[in-house]
């Protein structure tokens, strides 16, 4: 047995999952278990494959999920390392399950729905999945902490890691450190009427309510970010909901027809059933949701499930059907 952790980011607070502190905690756990340990330094690849595209997409008005982009590359790197060391299987700490259908590996939801990470693993290649084991998939977080405590591992009491390891202090702080300068723009309603100003459309997120700096008789929410015009579009909550979503960059692993198919449009969001699914050109889909979904943000992953098994994924396109 051999333990490996990846160093992906050279800074960050203790709660960051991929910081130097996290590497040290992994090393201590391996020592406590009496297994060999090494660190795989992928900071350069992580910056090129995950961080830089994240920054570019966010400034362009999208809301990317860096964890979805990160997992395919880092898990493939672990497979390459396993080949070098002569190991056949790789166990990871993801809360997900691996299932086999007709000789092919698929990711499925973990037992602990509150910690389920199948959404984050949706775009991992089948050849990589075939080499993985998910020993936490049938356990809850509480059960894992209890087992770690019995084993004498200090990490049993560690706080939860942050979702975005390179922006643990928030996106505003992260962008400022990267030299992104304020840029004054307009806050407008769905008819284009100017309601106020902002200092950069990238500071906002679709669905955001707080921090708009506007006085209104009813609550206002961010409906869209128009990067080219540096505009933030706001409106009532009723305008956040849509049943019409377009998906780009589709990976289809057996979507089939709409009946019985669900799509998850944001991490931690409840899946939504589909009433209609239309294949378009260039790996795009048009979805008709059975029930409205609020704050479908362009750039977020759209992950398709059939009976809790991931059967496809893509990204919400710019033509999401929010009424703005």
Give the residue numbers marked as catalytic.
70, 165
Bridge partner residues of 90 (DSSP)? 132
The rounded distance, in Å, linking the Cα atoms of 39 and 300 is 30
The rounded distance, in Å, linking the Cα atoms of 273 and 295 is 16
Spatial CB neighbours of 261, under 8 Å, sequence gap ≥ 6: 255, 273, 274, 277, 304, 305, 306, 311
| CA distances, 131 to each of 63, 126, 300 (Å) | 31, 9, 27
The rounded distance, in Å, linking the Cα atoms of 268 and 221 is 20
Number of other CB atoms surrounding residue 139 within 10 Å: 18
Contact assessment for residue 63 and residue 300, using Cβ atoms and an 8 Å cutoff: yes
Burial (0-12, 13-18, 19+ Cβ within 10 Å), 37: middle
Contact assessment for residue 54 and residue 8, using Cβ atoms and an 8 Å cutoff: no
Contact assessment for residue 297 and residue 205, using Cβ atoms and an 8 Å cutoff: yes
First to last CA, the chain: 55
Spatial CB neighbours of 206, under 8 Å, sequence gap ≥ 6: 63, 222, 223, 224, 225, 240, 295, 296, 297, 298, 322
Contact assessment for residue 185 and residue 198, using Cβ atoms and an 8 Å cutoff: yes
The rounded distance, in Å, linking the Cα atoms of 226 and 316 is 15
């Amino acid at each position: 047995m051999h333990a490996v952790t990846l160093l992906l980011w050279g800074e960050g607070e203790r709660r960051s999952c991929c910081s130097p502190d996290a590497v040290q905690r992994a090393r201590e756990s391996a020592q406590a278990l009496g297994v060999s340990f090494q660190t795989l330094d992928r900071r350069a690849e992580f910056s090129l494959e995950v961080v830089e595209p994240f920054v570019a997409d966010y400034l362009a008005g999208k809301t990317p999920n860096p964890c979805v982009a990160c997992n395919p590359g880092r898990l493939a790197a672990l497979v390459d390392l396993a080949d070098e060391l002569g190991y056949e299987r790789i166990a990871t700490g993801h809360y997900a399950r691996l299932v086999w259908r007709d000789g092919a590996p698929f990711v499925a939801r973990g037992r602990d729905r509150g910690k389920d990470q199948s959404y984050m693993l949706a775009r991992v290649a089948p050849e990589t999945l075939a080499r993985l084991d998910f020993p936490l998939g049938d356990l809850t977080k509480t059960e894992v902490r209890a087992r770690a405590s019995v084993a004498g591992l200090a990490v049993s009491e560690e706080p939860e890691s942050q979702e975005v390891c390179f922006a643990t202090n928030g996106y505003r702080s992260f962008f400022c450190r990267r030299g992104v300068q304020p840029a004054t723009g307009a806050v407008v309603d769905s008819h284009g009427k100017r309601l106020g100003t902002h200092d950069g459309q990238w500071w906002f997120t679709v669905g955001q309510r707080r921090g708009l700096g506007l006085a209104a008789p009813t609550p206002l929410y961010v409906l869209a970010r128009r990067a080219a015009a540096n505009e933030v579009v706001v409106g009532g909550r009723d305008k956040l909901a849509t049943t019409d979503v377009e998906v780009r960059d589709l990976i289809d692993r057996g979507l089939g027809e709409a009946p019985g198919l669900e799509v998850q449009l944001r991490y931690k969001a409840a899946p939504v059933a589909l009433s209609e699914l239309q294949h378009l050109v260039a790996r795009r889909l048009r979805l008709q949701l059975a029930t409205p979904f609020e704050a479908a943000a362009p750039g977020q992953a759209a992950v398709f499930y059939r009976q809790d098994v991931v059967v496809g994924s893509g990204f919400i396109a710019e033509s999401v059907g929010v009424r703005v």
